[in-house]
Amino acid sequence: MTTTVPVRLGARSYDVVIGPGVREQLAKVVPRGARQAAVVTQAGIELAVDPDGHFDTFTIPDGEAAKTLATVEELCRGFARAGLGRGDVVVAVGGGVVTDVAGFTAATYLRGVALVNVPTTLVGQVDAAIGGKTAVNIPEGKNLVGAFWQPRAVLCDTDALDTLPPREWASGFGEVAKCAFLSPRPRDPAPGNELTQWNLEEQVSWCAVLKAVIVSEDEREGGRRMLLNYGHTLAHALEAVSLAGGPVDLRHGEAVAVGLVFAARLARRLGRIDDDRVAEHLAVLGHFGLPNALPAELSVGALLEFMARDKKARHDLTFVLDGPKGVEPVRGVADEDVVATLLAMGAVP
């Protein structure tokens, strides 16, 4: 069974196609007139794709360490040597690292060439490959250099998930867990713990619909799209600590899971939600086997510094928190409440 989810952005609209074997539709979604394709992937990704024409394959390193401007430069130079033109296409085949790097490269090479995403991980299929946010990291923080660049299509081939290792499943389920507390439209209820009872394709489809509707309303994160950052302020700080050589060994979705607990506990401290709602967050994370505590020996100061850098291009520390109206951005949270919540989760002064 195949599910098609439209992302409605006027002339930049495209479809997210979900189901087994949908990578075989790649030739249909490559832009007309494209004579050449650049397939960006990683070693060990064995999903075969055929853009139906001449293509060159470019392999980038694994992990967050690959999300650098140096990798973007190497790809651009490779594209130039291969003769990739403005009317051609970049095809990203891989997880969130691949779609982030390939997407940012497509956005900047020749001032922008077409992009098609073929995500091969759960986190890619439910989040990273959809919505047009592309970025790489710098030592000062995660995803601080990037661009909004919408793909021409996203092909979520669920067959690609069959060989995922356990940590990659965990990374994807962190994003799925986030979506349990969000809804596509303000008055619609979020599924909460009910989402854990759905099958995998239903969960992937829910996440895709959620993101598609919100991105269609707010492409560049000026309003409702900020909701998709639920759990991410602390998550990105944890990832930044790891990139800086700190004592953190968490995949993206695992960091999001810890960030969800932090957000729930901060909301509880502020009187926005009750203990039962915090317990529901913990129950959803427990169902997916996700972590719910901070790694040991993390300092409050380091986490606050990186959270401030992850302020989403705004000059305040904005948190996305649950509340009586559902999840929403909250500004003006007192530092002492943030510090107290981090200390309660095991951070050190």
Q: Which pTM does this prediction carry? A: 0.91
| All residues at 6 or more sequence positions from 40 whose CB lies less than 8 Å from its CB, including other chains | 58, 59, 60, 75, 90, 91, 92, 93, 94, 98, 101, 102, 105
Confidence of residue 327 (pLDDT cuts 50, 70, 90): very high
- The letter for the amino acid at 147 is A
What percentage of the chain exceeds 90 in pLDDT? Answer: 86
* 232 is annotated as an active-site residue: yes
From 116-125, 256-265, 271-280, 309-318, the region with the lowest mean pLDDT: 309-318
* 133 is annotated as an active-site residue: yes
Separation of alpha carbons 15 and 199, rounded Å: 22
What was the pLDDT predicted at 349? 93
What was the pLDDT predicted at 52? 87
CB 71 within 8 A of CB 59: no
In this structure, the chain runs to a length of 349
- The letter for the amino acid at 109 is Y
Phi, psi angles (nearest 5°) of residue 274: -105, 180
Confidence of residue 315 (pLDDT cuts 50, 70, 90): low
What was the pLDDT predicted at 67? 96
Confidence of residue 268 (pLDDT cuts 50, 70, 90): very high
Separation of alpha carbons 31 and 153, rounded Å: 10
From 22-26, 44-48, 58-62, the region with the lowest mean pLDDT: 44-48
* 28 is annotated as an active-site residue: no
For residue 26, is pLDDT > 50? yes
Torsion angle, CA of 110/111/116/122, rounded to 10 degrees?
120
Confidence of residue 188 (pLDDT cuts 50, 70, 90): confident
Helix (H) or strand (E) holding 258: helix 252-269
* 194 is annotated as an active-site residue: no
Q: Which two tokens stand for residue 347?
A: 């951070």
pLDDT in tens, 117-171: 999 999 999 999 999 999 999 988 889 999 999 999 999 999 999 989 999 999 9
* Spatial CA neighbour of 55 closest among 87, 86, 88: 88
* 225 is annotated as an active-site residue: yes
| All residues at 6 or more sequence positions from 276 whose CB lies less than 8 Å from its CB, including other chains | none
CA dihedral sign, ordered 226, 230, 234, 236: negative
Question: Which of these is catalytic: 23, 152, 225, 265?
Answer: 225
* Mean predicted confidence (pLDDT) in 189-207: 95
* 236 is annotated as an active-site residue: yes
Question: Which of these is catalytic: 64, 168, 219, 221?
Answer: 221
The chain-wide mean pLDDT, for the chain, equals 94
Question: Which of these is catalytic: 23, 64, 67, 133?
Answer: 133
Domains of the chain: 3-164 (3.40.50.1970), 219-344 (1.20.1090.10)
* 280 is annotated as an active-site residue: no
Confidence of residue 1 (pLDDT cuts 50, 70, 90): confident
Separation of alpha carbons 191 and 1, rounded Å: 23
Which regions of the chain does DSSP assign to beta strands (E)? Answer: 3-7, 14-19, 36-42, 54-60, 89-94, 114-119, 133-138, 141-148, 153-157, 319-321, 328-330
What was the pLDDT predicted at 316? 62
pLDDT in tens, 50-96: 998 899 999 999 988 899 999 999 999 999 999 999 999 999 999 99
Separation of alpha carbons 95 and 129, rounded Å: 8
Question: Which of these is catalytic: 64, 137, 229, 254?
Answer: 229
Where helices occur in 30-165 by DSSP H, the ranges are: 69-82, 96-108, 122-123
For residue 313, is pLDDT > 50? no
Helix (H, G, I), strand (E, B) or coil at 130: coil
* 175 is annotated as an active-site residue: yes
Separation of alpha carbons 239 and 64, rounded Å: 9
Q: What is the DSSP letter of 225?
A: G
* 54 is annotated as an active-site residue: no
* 311 is annotated as an active-site residue: no
pLDDT in tens, 239-262: 989 988 888 999 999 999 999 999
Q: Strands 89-94 and 114-119: what pairing? A: parallel
Separation of alpha carbons 118 and 99, rounded Å: 8
CB 322 within 8 A of CB 221: no
What was the pLDDT predicted at 223? 87
